Structure 1
Amino acid sequence: MTLLVPAPETVGVQPPAASDVTPRPGLVARLSAEALGTLIVVVAGLGVPLFTIPQSSPLPAALAAGLALTAAMLAVGYVSGGHFNPAVTVGNAIAGRIRLADAAAYIGAQLVGALLGAVALFGVLRTVPTIDDSQAAFATVAAGFGEHSIIQVPMAGVLLVEVLGTALLVAIFLATTAHRNPARAAAPFAVGLATAMLLQLGQALGNVPFNPARATASAIFSGPDALGQLWLFWVAPVVGAAIAGLVFRGFVQASVQAARTTDRTTDQGTGAVTAPTDGTLTDADVDGAGFDDVELADVTATTAAAPAAPAGNDEARSFFDRKGGK
């Protein structure tokens, strides 16, 4: 296992004992949580508009989707990090907060959860006697552009909205789930409300979901027209997520470099050990990944290798390294 060098502010700080830290759930548990959370998001996000009177306001559907995401993050977000959206996972991977292999597995689990949710909804539609064509009913909630958009928004317009909206959503997720954020406990509410706000805009344009898993689930049961336009609802969110991930990573790197410069100046002549200055980001710098806990093995290794805390430093912040996400 490769040990990461701690950030400057943590040098000389005694890490917590291994027994004080909860082990990180295994990959299977995290994938199960991602599938379950995505299923909840899809059932609420597609089910409410499917079974809502057409003349009613679309706000309840957007709000229901946002509340479902908040509930899912509160329920199982501590297990997996609470992504429930391939775009969020891509943003975390680019920001360096999840391994690429794990990110690919997360996306697969999210697709499985989304498809299971869509299958359940499709089965319910088949039981409703007043609905003759279940596929046509599903098409009313499928993402689309041009003639498949409610107000005929062209491809360029939907593309721009998807990129911008996903970038904002991923940026909010990355910022609110950062370990250094004092309001981190409120992240599910911030992400849920942001999702509801964006979906309100997206529904007016063409059921823009800002979530490739949800777009895939609705397209599969909506026929060839929706499937033919599905590519946009993967490409645009990935681009938006990449922008947010790169900006977040650049912001963190700039902050860390500034902190390291200050630390070197402060520690001049003291003989204190400083972190590397080659621009490499550590896991402590990028703040981890959402709500997931650290792995016990990492804490044990870091505890054994880290220098002891100075005597009397009872106000020192606890610190531990996590495995690299790169």
Structure 2
Amino acid sequence: MTTPVPAPETGGAKPSATRENALRPGLVARLSAEAVGTLFVVVAGLGVPLFTIPQSNPLPASLAAGLALTASMLAFGYLSGGHFNPAVTVGNAIAGRIRLKEAAAYLGAQLVGALLGAVTLFGILRTVPTISDSRAAFDTVTAGFGEHSIIQVPMAGVLLVEVLGAALLVAVYLGTTSGRNPAKATAPFAVGLATAVLLQLGQAIGNAPFNPARATASAIFSNTGSLGQLWLFWVAPLLGAALAGLLFRGFGQSAAQPQPAVSKAVPDRADGEEDAEPDAAWAHASAAPAAHAPAQESGTTGGDEARDFFDKRGE
């Protein structure tokens, strides 16, 4: 019973891996998906509060941003993995799920999408006759601390909230998109809800977005004081993302140690995932389900689409 088990794992996975590699979207397609998805997230996250009319908008801005992120992940996640946030990309890179050079390309695409979204909103503001100063309008949605915070939260307080919020958001993404999570198909909803909850907190202290691309887009079109504080909204969320990535990298290594029997399946599973996921810890963690169902590459029944959606493609 044990002799024929390794054969289907090794020999049967290679044709599937070859087919998957042939069908995998190219880097341009993935970067385009990241740019368009980030544009949608920024347009919803900044546009809803910018054009909110008191007592006329039943949808809170934080919930609108969370729903936009969910929709973007559902629409474009199968192409790029659905990051739409430099913090999420950095967390994936540190967790070993994407190569550094491709992570850098993702960050560039996210910034382009965010800036295009902000340009669009700024152009709409310029057409509204009742808004005399478009930059002053952007001040109301731009992240800041101290005098730029709604309740005058000092730098240390905003920094701690950004680190914690980004770490939690990246942890939700990494956990729900893990190859060992049976509920990974629900990742867009989990990440979107987490974003909505965190943004509700962030708005209360100073429009903390937990997304450096969104923070950059709003700061560029606001008054000059916001640009001087932009560094915090890059350093803090990336630090939180790094902490979450290191934590999940450690979990992947510790989970893989007691399972030497599946080591032969690791290269095949790594090839079946995105070409930007060479890290052994991630490969071992993703290959864990294969030990229970060696005849299937994904280790689940009918789970290929969910795995392709969030595991194989560019976490």
Q: TM-score, length-normalised on structure 1?
A: 0.79
Cα distance in 1, alignment partners of residues 266 and 166 from structure 2: 34
| AA of the residue aligned to 2:286 | D
Contact 2:252–2:282 (8 Å) recurs in 1: no
Q: How does 1:170-185 map to 2 (within 5 A)?
A: 170-185=170-185
Contact 1:135–1:223 (8 Å) recurs in 2: yes
Aligned to 1:248: 248
Cα distance in 2, alignment partners of residues 209 and 70 from structure 1: 16
Aligned to 1:46: 46
| AA of the residue aligned to 1:86 | P
Aligned to 1:95: 95
Deviations 1:66-93 (A, max 9, x none): 0000000000110000000000000000
| AA of the residue aligned to 1:186 | T
Aligned to 1:15: 13
| AA of the residue aligned to 2:13 | P
Contact 2:175–2:181 (8 Å) recurs in 1: yes
User: Shift of residue 178 of structure 1?
Assistant: 1.2
User: Shift of residue 55 of structure 1?
Assistant: 6.7
User: Shift of residue 50 of structure 1?
Assistant: 0.2
Cα distance in 1, alignment partners of residues 129 and 293 from structure 2: 69
Cα distance in 2, alignment partners of residues 273 and 77 from structure 1: 29
The secondary structure found in structure 2 opposite 1:17 is helix
User: Shift of residue 274 of structure 1?
Assistant: 9.3
Deviations 1:29-49 (A, max 9, x none): 000000000000000000000
User: Shift of residue 24 of structure 1?
Assistant: 1.2
Return 5+ residue gaps in structure 1 as ranges. 1-9, 265-271, 289-312
Cα distance in 2, alignment partners of residues 161 and 57 from structure 1: 27
Aligned to 1:74: 74
Q: Return closer, same or farther for 1:93/1:122 CA change in 2, 3 Å cut-off.
A: same
Cα distance in 1, alignment partners of residues 153 and 58 from structure 2: 18
User: Shift of residue 56 of structure 1?
Assistant: 7.4
Q: Return closer, same or farther for 1:149/1:54 CA change in 2, 3 Å cut-off.
A: farther
Q: Return closer, same or farther for 1:106/1:229 CA change in 2, 3 Å cut-off.
A: same
Quote the sequence identity (%): 72
| AA of the residue aligned to 2:15 | A
Aligned to 2:272: none
Cα distance in 2, alignment partners of residues 139 and 163 from structure 1: 22
Q: How does 1:79-158 map to 2 (within 5 A)?
A: 79-158=79-158
The secondary structure found in structure 2 opposite 1:258 is coil
Contact 2:266–2:284 (8 Å) recurs in 1: no
User: Shift of residue 283 of structure 1?
Assistant: 4.8
User: Shift of residue 17 of structure 1?
Assistant: 3.0
User: Shift of residue 57 of structure 1?
Assistant: 8.4
Aligned to 1:163: 163
Contact 1:34–1:113 (8 Å) recurs in 2: yes
Aligned to 1:192: 192
Q: Return closer, same or farther for 1:210/1:314 CA change in 2, 3 Å cut-off.
A: closer
Q: Return closer, same or farther for 1:131/1:178 CA change in 2, 3 Å cut-off.
A: same
Q: How does 1:311-326 map to 2 (within 5 A)?
A: 316-318=295-297
User: Shift of residue 63 of structure 1?
Assistant: 0.2
Aligned to 2:286: 287
Aligned to 1:259: 259
Cα distance in 2, alignment partners of residues 90 and 273 from structure 1: 29
- Based on CA coordinates, which of the two structures has the bigger radius of gyration? 1
Deviations 1:157-207 (A, max 9, x none): 000000000000000001111122111110000000000000000000100
Q: Aligned-pair RMSD on alpha carbons?
A: 2.8
Q: How does 1:217-228 map to 2 (within 5 A)?
A: 217-228=217-228
The secondary structure found in structure 1 opposite 2:234 is helix
Cα distance in 1, alignment partners of residues 266 and 30 from structure 2: 32
Contact 1:143–1:219 (8 Å) recurs in 2: yes
The secondary structure found in structure 2 opposite 1:97 is coil
Return 5+ residue gaps in structure 2 as ranges. 268-278, 300-310
| AA of the residue aligned to 1:281 | A
Contact 2:85–2:110 (8 Å) recurs in 1: yes
Cα distance in 2, alignment partners of residues 176 and 140 from structure 1: 33
Contact 1:39–1:116 (8 Å) recurs in 2: yes
Q: Return closer, same or farther for 1:123/1:314 CA change in 2, 3 Å cut-off.
A: closer
Cα distance in 1, alignment partners of residues 58 and 167 from structure 2: 23
The secondary structure found in structure 1 opposite 2:23 is coil
User: Shift of residue 287 of structure 1?
Assistant: 3.3
The secondary structure found in structure 1 opposite 2:157 is helix
